[in-house]
Amino acid sequence: MTFPQKAQFEPLRSLFAFRTKIPRHSRGLAQDFRRKVAIYFERSKYRVRTIETQEELERVLQFRYEVFHREFQNKMIPFGIDWEALDAKADHLVIEDLQTDQIVGTYRLISTSFGNTLYSNTEFDLDEFLKTPGVKLELSRACIHRNYRNGSVITLLWRGVCEYIAALKADEVIGCSSVNTMDGREVARMISSLAKQRSQLESFTILPRESYLRRNGLHLVNQSKVEAIPSLLQVYLKAGAKVSLHPAWDYDFHCVDFFTVLKVEHMKSNFKSKYRIE
């Protein structure tokens, strides 16, 4: 779920490509980074844990740069970081290859237990939603190294997420589920499919903020088809999640985002069993 900030926390996307370290004016924020919830386990040839230090945070940001900017956006600059100020306020779950000690996957975890600033609230108007009771856990910036995108790594990463949910006693898991298209026709078909599956969020009407509304005449037609409903969003739906049928249009990253809510008490029993959530 991908799953951070407005007000004083502004994404610094335009500068990502030129950074190899956390920017000087944000070092104070990064120095405040601390692990909130300890997760650690090893399975087979992998280690799953929440990171502890600023140095480990920089490794995560470098890894995200490799995936989001080098691989997905074809940026030519070989070194950089994928930094947002909220990274200092979050926990970061990583999966590491025990043979190489390299990070091969990560999730950013932000909980209302530790603050009220969420990434989703920059794209969607969540003011009324956030007034509702219960601990909310936001998932964002999920990525896996291209050589490790297999069922076992995804399962272990999700098991780590579920251990975090249990440790936090979270009531709801939320985030922005991204779809890599800006083709209005494809988005309309996806919304129709979600409605037919009764996957829409009914307790609230969640709308995108003004800067994330669709701009007439500026959407793009995809050259290749996207999945009817992307696989990561399908995972959330199979777990029992609901989505707002009013997506945010992200013209910086050329995708649309669906605000997604999974109530832990409504999580499907087979999902809980698979990922061992109590």
Per-domain residue ranges of the chain: 13-275
What tens digit of pLDDT does each residue of 20-38 get? 455 554 555 567 899 999 9
Q: Across residues 87-104, what is the average pLDDT?
A: 96
What is the reported pLDDT for 225? 46
CB atoms within 10 A of CB 140: 23
What is the reported pLDDT for 8? 32
pLDDT at 173 over 90: yes
| Of 116, 147, 104, 142, residue with least CA distance to 233 | 142
> What span, in angstroms and rounded, lies between the C-alpha atoms of 95 and 144?
9
pTM of the predicted model, to two decimals?
Answer: 0.84
Class assignment of domain 13-275? Answer: alpha beta
- Using pLDDT thresholds of 50, 70 and 90, give the confidence band for residue 276: low
> What span, in angstroms and rounded, lies between the C-alpha atoms of 162 and 48?
12
Q: Across residues 217-237, what is the average pLDDT?
A: 61
Q: Across residues 196-201, what is the average pLDDT?
A: 91
For β-strands 172-179 and 91-97, DSSP reports them as: unpaired
What is the residue whose two structure tokens read 């997760």? 39
- Using pLDDT thresholds of 50, 70 and 90, give the confidence band for residue 101: very high
For β-strands 136-144 and 172-179, DSSP reports them as: parallel
Percent of the chain with pLDDT over 90: 57
Q: What is the DSSP string of the chain?
A: ------TT----GGGGGG-SS--GGGHHHHHT---SS--EEEETTEEEEE--SHHHHHHHHHHHIIIIIIISS----S------GGGGTSEEEEEEETTT--EEEEEEEEETTS-S--THHHHB--TTGGGSSS-EEEEEEEEE-GGG-SHHHHHHHHHHHHHHHHHHT-SEEEEEEEES---HHHHHHHHHHHHHTT-B--S----B-GGGSPPTT-----SSPPPSS-HHHHHHHHHT-EE-SS-EEETTTTEEEEEEEEEGGGS-HHHHHHHT--
